[in-house]
Amino acid sequence: MLRFLLVAQVIAVVSLGFHSPLYAKAYPWFMFLPAIVNGTPPISDTCADDDLIFDRYLPMGKNCDVIKDIVTNLEWQRCSVGQTWNPDTKRCDGAPAGYSWYSADAQSFPDGWRMPNVTELRSLVYCSTGDPILIGNDLYDATCNGEYTRPTIIVEAFPDVPWVGNSLSAHYWTSSSNDNDSGMAWVVNFYKGNVGDDGNKITPGLSIRLVRPPTN
């Protein structure tokens, strides 16, 4: 029966034309043919939630597990490495995996994902007080001042960042080494919103958030 339908479809396309209203009337099942052949309806790879977060962050991916920063054009994983994105709750389940810089640098991630450099990761810092600046800056020694909210990141875009007690997991490695000391690397602290170049590369327990260039 399925073979007959396929042959009939080809004949109809040739004789009537794909866009013919007669074709659409005679073969309305054509639009659902992939589901008939495969047994399941096709699944979209497009995120259903396409509203900008904070006028800057665009959810992407099949489960909205990726964020595109329309300012920097970078794509970010919404969860830290070790966590799992939950599309139902829009939260990150589990705890981030802890790494030393050396173990983080040795990881191989698929689909172009990598550890960000210090400029890239610093761009995600958000100071709710607007002091020293709203989102991101080039002053690497700057720290959020006043009664700012923690963690210092837009949590609607990047939920469940650990920050309680200024723990090690609130500190995120970057791929950038200290130019003056090869044993040190740049770290972004999402408890205070500051960046430092004094992260000892052998220190375990720091988190990673992955980034990649735009895919489209």
pLDDT digits (tens, 9 = 90+) for 151-198: 999 999 999 999 877 778 899 999 999 999 999 999 999 999 988 888
CA dihedral 111, 117, 122, 123 (to 10 degrees): -50
pLDDT score of 143: 81
User: What three-state secondary structure class fits 69?
Assistant: strand
- CA gap 212, 32 in Å, rounded: 35
R_g (Cα) of the chain, nearest Å: 24
Longest CA–CA separation in the chain, Å? 74
pTM: 0.76
Indicate whether 57 pLDDT > 80: yes
Strand partners, 173: 187
User: Per residue in 19-41, pLDDT tens?
Assistant: 444 333 333 333 333 333 343 33
What are the domain boundaries of the chain?
2-38, 57-212
Q: How confident is the model at residue 45 (pLDDT cuts 50, 70, 90)?
A: low
